[in-house]
Structure 1
Amino acid sequence: MQTPPPTSEARRRLMQWMGALATTELLGACGGGGGGGGNPAPSPAPPPAVAPGTPVVSATGSLGGATGATLSSRFAGLSYEKTRLAIPLFSASNTAFIRLLQRLGPGVLRIGANGVDLSSWNGLVPGLTPITPAQIDAFAACMQAAGWQVIYGINMANNTPANAAAEASHVASRLGSALLAWEIGNEPDLYHSNGDRPSTWSYADYLSEWRALRSAVAAAVPGVPFSGPAAAYDTARFTVPFARDAGAGVPLLTQHYYRANGQDTSSTLDLLLSADAALPGRLQSLVAAARTAGMADGLRLAECNSFYNGGAPNVSNAFGTALWVLDFLFTCAVNGCTGVNLHGGGNGSGYTPIADSNGTVVAARPEYHGMLMFSLAAAGMARAGVLNLASDFNASLWGVQRSDGGINLLVLNKDRNRALQATVSTGLGASAPASFDPLWLTGTSMDAPTGQMLGGSTVAPDGSWQAQAMAAVPTRDGSVSVLLPPATAVLLRSL
């Protein structure tokens, strides 16, 4: 059977993967320098070396029969506090930020979080951060330049239907087709405990208030979908009932996720890298609720990251989060999620994929490099894999059945001290491709906040990045074998 030609998305991903044209392409899209090449192709680089004396553990693996969501660059998006509209991050002139968004591909950015209920359109509520038309104009220009869609949050805790409608009218007029959905409020299941509502406030009260704001916004801007309820944790009393009660025009069910409290001393990198046994079942129940309710866009974790309260200091910014985010994204995908939004912003020692200082990008963090690796793999149907290993060895295997007919394999070695010799069956037998193209994710140590490299290069703060060419990994008897040093990952793309 002849392999079908790559789709436009797969072709763009291939160019970015190889690095030959990706930097020029992105710089040109942002008005940067350009120029074609003509230089000879560099000699293939060797794979990461395993230090002498490092113990090596061997394992076999294969992709299971279970498949999940169909992946694209829209799957792994970003989330920001709405109050950050008041700083010069979201601007068409912020080319570094736009290039970093473009690296991840056309994506979905959610603007809201706690900041949505701490801000007020045109300063209606004293003491809250004013959101102005000029800020929205700049935000819309930034999103349109990047080619990203937006889930836009509207204040629920301190707002009026008339003010919500006025804000929605201006936002929709500027974002246009980039506006994916409205989100009203943030984590309403915490309103009764954080002072926004009395202790007696219930889901029924929430639903009544939500419907009033929704009606006002829908009347002002007909036809734009809604999402919700953006609950922090209470799936049983908020998210599942909301799926049942939201009604037409709400195709997207949203929920938040964090592994644990970043202020607890037990919130370590080792905890983060250990599997959250409760997550698959929780996702499956929410996916089922969305399906039963006929919500066409399914379930999206519209805000998530490592640990809540901004992350665990000097843990949530470490290289290990690049490995964690790969596992997390694939776990969500194979359990039916249709997308996630990694929360971030600022330059503290907690979490953020893109670090910025008052809007100026200062670093693409390790987590961003993991997201980029996922984005480069995300061009088809997600598949779970199984590695046959001793229980004390932390490693994982994922796959993507690509839309262009090929297959991607992702192997992660999360052991700090031991190397992994992984032999993975492609499941294709004699029809397996002759070789796979490797892309490596490495760091100086699991705990290091800097020094991460994808394809032998670090993504620069200005968004530039070019992967090194590496020798193809041959298949043998339908399997591919790779040696992973401690704390590394490799993405193998069939040629």
Structure 2
Amino acid sequence: MPPTERSPEHTADNRPEDAAGARRRNLRPAVVISVLAVIAVLASLVFFLGPGAAEDSAAPAAGPATTSAVPEAALPPAPAVTYYKQPGPPAGSPLEAVEPLDVKVSQDPVGTSLTKGLVGISLEATDLADPALSSSNASTVKLLQEADQPVLRFGGNAVDRRFFWTSSNEAVPSSYRGDAAHPVRAVGPADLARLNTLLEAADATVSLTVDLGHYDPNRAADMAKHATEIFGPRLLSITVGNEPNGFGSNGVRPGGYNIEKYVTELKAYAAAINAVAPNVPISGPGAYDQKWWQPFIDADIPQKKILTFHNYPLYSCDGTVDPKASPTLANLMSRLMHDRAADYQQAALKVGKDAGLETWLPETGIAACPGSNETSRTHASALWTTDYALNAAQLGITRIGFHSSMLTCKGGPPMSAVCTGGPYLKPNGEVSGRANFFGISMVAELEAGKFLKLDSKGGGLMFSYALQNADGSTTVVLVNENDPEKAAQTDVTVQLPARALTGTMTQMTGPSYGAEDSTVIDGAKSEPIPLPDRATVEGFAYGSQTQTFKLTAGTVTVLNFKH
């Protein structure tokens, strides 16, 4: 902290003249030199800043920032700023007080980082045939640009059931079965080439899954060969099969299908793929059963490996298996939901870390249940998405894919983060994001940085994260999951690792947990306002390590402090 200024009664100006004079006569040469050095530094500061520098660099004026108790000579004058105007609680809300939140951000790193490309979209393998996945579709390009360098992962249940790869225009075998909503699709090199135009336009990458449901290593290798040639370095990995741990019970393979059979087939696929695309890592097993993780790691294959697992935290669809894991808003907006997800992720991370492997979560979502439930399309899903992704990244997971579909918004999968306009099963090509996509966008727009240790107390149902960015600034993310219809604004105190010269914010809001199609960022259905254009957090204390402000419930707030 800066030194406290001396009180007036202790200054030379308030002493008797002879005493002051005696003090001047007794100054030693070393002291004189020190005083002159300070004067020189101050003069240099004025020279380089210039008389109007502070005003020239200020945001549009709406009032001066609050100045903390620091020596005036230590900093240039506080610039004029425009304060961020966050919405208050809904009118007439029965406001319930929330315990104040106290966050102390350390200078010490957690040991994990947030990188660009952390959050992405998982799609069905049959979506590779969708013409909307092209650079010629402006709505798709815009959406992926708002996800900021995402990974598009193709897999899902379709890949082992209704997906047929061919590079020679073969007819789809008659044994493949689908329906109107889930048709069988043949995919070939032209589809990959079209997708590549989208990847280039949106600066995205891709991860593919090959069909293991119909055992054919050579066909999978042919797909890998063409994918490598078309995508080049944008192809991050290939997975053999989707959730093979379920093959024996869901009819994809005979009931005796087990880990040993999977490992044998994985080796055959890996060998065939390695012969034509040796530089592409194999990711897997893409299973939701922990028993399958270690056998994948131990499998002797020539490629580099990436450990992947799937997770849908609310899996008890009718509540009979575990009432706390049924897809309800009460379960979704709970600390237990946060903690359970973290426990499962940590289990996967330990297995991966012990083997020296990167760990991905390429397919996830709120619930594994088909059809709509009370969490579908809601603002609560957006809040959960942001917290889920940030917590996973802070633990050490480096890629996360939120499972989605290119089907129509009307009648399509309600948990999908993206969907297409038009009547049911008649898409018009206009791709848009649902509420949970805005949660993805809040994470995607964060600056890459190192997670910092912090101590967070109070705040009710609120989760806090901090990052040290490459430019030395500090980002603090506050996910306020308190009920926006009931909770009063929370008093927040943030203790930063250094004095702040600027403090800006962007915020995702919504009127209630269950509100559909009502989530906005900075008041609009779009990505966050660019960092240089963001307004200042209200109550910002210029030149202070301690910042105090209020936050509305049901929000995600990203604060950036430059020091």
1:335-414 aligned at under 5 Å gives the runs 335-345=395-405, 346=407, 347=409, 348=412, 350-357=414-421, 358=427, 360-383=429-452, 385-389=454-458, 393-414=460-481
Shift of 1:228: 0.7
CA-to-partner distance for each residue in 1:131-158, whole Å, 9 max, x for gaps?
Answer: 1222222112212221111111110111
Give 3-state SS (helix, strand or coil) of 2:312's partner: strand
1:221-232 aligned at under 5 Å gives the runs 221-231=277-287
Q: Give the percent of matched residue pairs that are identical in Structure 1 and Structure 2.
A: 25
Amino acid aligned to 1:480: Q
Return the match for 1:440 from 507, 512, 534: 507
Q: Do the aligned partners of residues 246 and 308 (structure 1) sit closer, same or farther apart at CA in structure 2, a change above 3 Å counting?
A: farther
CA distance in 2, matches of 1:202, 1:349: 30
Shift of 1:165: 1.9
Return the match for 1:212 from 258, 268, 283: 268
In structure 2, the gaps of 5 or more residues are 1-58, 60-79, 177-183, 320-325, 422-426
CA distance in 1, matches of 2:196, 2:341: 34
CA distance in 1, matches of 2:441, 2:187: 31
Give 3-state SS (helix, strand or coil) of 1:264's partner: coil
Aligned to 2:390: 330
CA distance in 1, matches of 2:494, 2:123: 40
Instruction: Tell me, yes or no, if structure 1 residue 475 matches structure 2 residue 541.
Output: yes
Q: Do the aligned partners of residues 420 and 44 (structure 1) sit closer, same or farther apart at CA in structure 2, a change above 3 Å counting?
A: closer
Return the match for 2:193 from 106, 130, 137: 137
Shift of 1:388: 2.1
> Are the aligned partners of 2:139 and 2:432 in contact in 1 as well (CA < 8 Å)?
no
Aligned to 2:132: 89
> Are the aligned partners of 2:490 and 2:553 in contact in 1 as well (CA < 8 Å)?
no
Shift of 1:397: 1.1
Aligned to 1:125: 173
Alignment coverage as a number of residue pairs: 445
> Are the aligned partners of 2:217 and 2:268 in contact in 1 as well (CA < 8 Å)?
yes
CA-to-partner distance for each residue in 1:319-369, whole Å, 9 max, x for gaps?
Answer: 111110111012211212112111112323621222224372353211111
In structure 1, the gaps of 5 or more residues are 1-17, 19-40
Q: Do the aligned partners of residues 425 and 290 (structure 1) sit closer, same or farther apart at CA in structure 2, a change above 3 Å counting?
A: same
Give 3-state SS (helix, strand or coil) of 1:478's partner: strand
Aligned to 2:367: 307
> Are the aligned partners of 2:509 and 2:556 in contact in 1 as well (CA < 8 Å)?
yes
Shift of 1:466: 7.5
Q: Do the aligned partners of residues 142 and 426 (structure 1) sit closer, same or farther apart at CA in structure 2, a change above 3 Å counting?
A: same
> Are the aligned partners of 2:364 and 2:400 in contact in 1 as well (CA < 8 Å)?
yes
Aligned to 1:196: 252
Which is higher, the Rg of structure 1 or of structure 2? 2
More deviation, 309-318/188-197: 309-318
Give 3-state SS (helix, strand or coil) of 2:224's partner: helix
Aligned to 1:103: 146
Amino acid aligned to 1:56: A
Amino acid aligned to 2:384: W
Aligned to 2:424: none
Instruction: Tell me, yes or no, if structure 1 residue 67 matches structure 2 residue 106.
Output: no
Amino acid aligned to 1:197: R
Shift of 1:273: 2.2
Instruction: Tell me, yes or no, if structure 1 residue 187 matches structure 2 residue 247.
Output: no
CA distance in 1, matches of 2:153, 2:112: 20
CA distance in 2, matches of 1:243, 1:197: 23
Aligned to 2:560: 493
CA distance in 2, matches of 1:286, 1:471: 40
CA distance in 2, matches of 1:466, 1:59: 27
CA-to-partner distance for each residue in 1:114-172, whole Å, 9 max, x for gaps?
Answer: 12112011255332421122222211221222111111111011141221122222222
CA-to-partner distance for each residue in 1:394-442, whole Å, 9 max, x for gaps?
Answer: 11111112122111111122121112424333342xx321341011111
Give 3-state SS (helix, strand or coil) of 2:283's partner: strand
More strand by share: 1
> Are the aligned partners of 2:327 and 2:374 in contact in 1 as well (CA < 8 Å)?
no
Give 3-state SS (helix, strand or coil) of 1:307's partner: coil
Give 3-state SS (helix, strand or coil) of 1:213's partner: helix
More deviation, 145-154/258-267: 258-267
Instruction: Tell me, yes or no, if structure 1 residue 48 matches structure 2 residue 48.
Output: no
CA distance in 2, matches of 1:359, 1:190: 35
Aligned to 2:45: none
Q: Do the aligned partners of residues 279 and 194 (structure 1) sit closer, same or farther apart at CA in structure 2, a change above 3 Å counting?
A: same
Amino acid aligned to 2:445: L
> Are the aligned partners of 1:412 and 1:488 in contact in 2 as well (CA < 8 Å)?
yes
Instruction: Tell me, yes or no, if structure 1 residue 170 matches structure 2 residue 218.
Output: no
Give 3-state SS (helix, strand or coil) of 2:375's partner: coil
More deviation, 471-480/281-290: 471-480
Q: Do the aligned partners of residues 489 and 409 (structure 1) sit closer, same or farther apart at CA in structure 2, a change above 3 Å counting?
A: same
Aligned to 2:310: 256
CA RMSD between the two structures: 2.6
> Are the aligned partners of 1:226 and 1:251 in contact in 2 as well (CA < 8 Å)?
yes
Amino acid aligned to 1:185: G
CA distance in 1, matches of 2:417, 2:193: 24
CA distance in 1, matches of 2:439, 2:317: 24
> Are the aligned partners of 1:435 and 1:472 in contact in 2 as well (CA < 8 Å)?
no
Shift of 1:43: 6.0
CA distance in 1, matches of 2:328, 2:560: 32
> Are the aligned partners of 2:476 and 2:558 in contact in 1 as well (CA < 8 Å)?
yes
Aligned to 1:286: 348
Shift of 1:469: 4.4
Shift of 1:282: 2.7
